[in-house]
Amino acid sequence: MADESNPTTPPAPAPAAPAERPAGGERPAHGERPARGPRPGGPRGDRKFFRRKKVCKFCVEKIDAINYKDVRLLQQFVAERGKIIPRRLTGVCTPHQRRLTAAIKQARNIALLPFAAR
Amino acid sequence: MQRTYEVMFIVRPDMPEEEVEKLVSTLESNVTSAGGTVKSVERMGKRRLAYVVRKFHEGLYVLLTIEGTGQAIHELERRMRVTEPVIKFLTVRVDEEQKRLAKIKKIRDSKVRRKPESAAAAAGSEPAAVSV
């Protein structure tokens, strides 16, 4: 929902924030966000501003198992149309993205996630 | 070769409860006769499908955890393919993943056990830094 604009407008300041927003509520890192940088600057826009480093959600929260049954988790990494959100937008590390992709594809196969929405 | 598999399948939603029960138990007996053991059966209830499957918008999800050989799974899949009320199924081999997770957990646990010591050491050095 929040990341609807993500795939279409990568250079906008949107990607940094919405990608993390779904988890934002219960994350400890959320509180220290304003302290680290003045604001999450656009990836290409304000070079002088401190860009918030994207971190891999799975590494930070120590989520070991990426299971196809965990739709809530997988949905955070799927755009509104059902596409898998690329690593450069979500900040997920390569090994985790690999497992994530496999899990999403399994979930699609058993109709837990759409191949293409609408 | 005994392996652990998860077989998730979707039963058409308009099926009465007792028939679903019967269907699941027949599939279970198929597995046991093929030399496998059903470790657990989980009914995940009615769920909306992410896309239309055989003109159904929702389905009853059932998850079986099976220990057995590839032949047992092959036989089960063949049965499910010809069982009309089963509209979709997915088999996932989980033993390797479980092994991997157990390994990670072991490493994590050993780190946690070591942590209190390092925390105590950090606490000991801190007052010294403040006094300087």
Same domain for B76 and B15, yes or no, is yes
What mean pLDDT is reported for chain B?
A: 85
Same domain for B75 and B39, yes or no, is yes
Same domain for B73 and B45, yes or no, is yes
Same domain for B31 and B63, yes or no, is yes
Name the interface residues of B facing A (CB cutoff 8 Å): 8, 10, 47, 49-51, 53, 59, 63, 88-90, 92, 97, 101, 104-105, 108
Q: In angstroms, what CA-CA distances link B6 with A110, B31, B41, B101, B104?
A: 12, 13, 10, 16, 21
The number of folded domains in chain B is 2
pLDDT of residue A6: 44
Q: How many CB pairs under 8 A join A and B?
A: 35
pLDDT of residue A101: 93
**CB-nearest partner of A110 from B90, B101, B108:** B90
Residue B80 tokens read as: 């499910």
- Tens of pLDDT, residue by residue over B30-52, are 889 988 888 989 888 889 999 99
**If you measure CA to CA, which chain A residue comes closest to B7?**
A110
Domain CATH for B45: 3.30.70.60
Same domain for B120 and B82, yes or no, is no
pLDDT of residue A60: 87
Same domain for B103 and B62, yes or no, is no
Which residue range is the domain that position B18 belongs to? 3-93
pLDDT of residue B90: 93
Cα of A104 vs its chain's centroid, Å: 13
Same domain for B39 and B55, yes or no, is yes
**pLDDT surpasses 80 at B130:** no
pLDDT of residue A9: 41
Question: pTM for this one?
Answer: 0.67
What mean pLDDT is reported for chain A?
A: 71
Residue A41 tokens read as: 């600057």
Same domain for B30 and B61, yes or no, is yes
Reported confidence tier of residue B122, pLDDT bands at 50, 70, 90: low
**If you measure CA to CA, which chain A residue comes closest to B48?**
A112
Share of chain A above pLDDT 90, in %: 31
Task: Judge: B10–A111 Cβ closer than 8 Å, yes or no.
Answer: yes
* Residue B26 or A39, more confident: B26
For the segment B76-101, the average pLDDT, to the nearest whole number, is: 91
pLDDT of residue B10: 93
Same domain for B57 and B77, yes or no, is yes
Contacts of B97 in chain A (CB under 8 A): 65
Reported confidence tier of residue B118, pLDDT bands at 50, 70, 90: low
**If you measure CA to CA, which chain A residue comes closest to B61?**
A110
**pLDDT surpasses 90 at B8:** yes
User: Residues in chain A with pLDDT < 70?
Assistant: 1-49
- Residues near A89 by beta carbon (within 8 Å), at least 6 away in sequence: A3, A6, A7, A10, A15, A19
Contacts of A69 in chain B (CB under 8 A): 8, 63
**If you measure CA to CA, which chain B residue comes closest to A103?**
B92
Distance separating alpha carbons of residues B45 and A114, to the nearest angstrom: 19
Per-domain residue ranges of chain A: 2-109
Task: Judge: B50–A64 Cβ closer than 8 Å, yes or no.
Answer: no
Cα of A106 vs its chain's centroid, Å: 19
Same domain for B79 and B101, yes or no, is no
Same domain for B27 and B86, yes or no, is yes
- Tens of pLDDT, residue by residue over B48-72, are 999 999 999 999 999 999 999 988 8
Fold of A2-109: 30s Ribosomal Protein S18 (4.10.640)
Same domain for B26 and B81, yes or no, is yes
Contacts of A68 in chain B (CB under 8 A): 90, 92
Distance separating alpha carbons of residues B38 and B102, to the nearest angstrom: 22
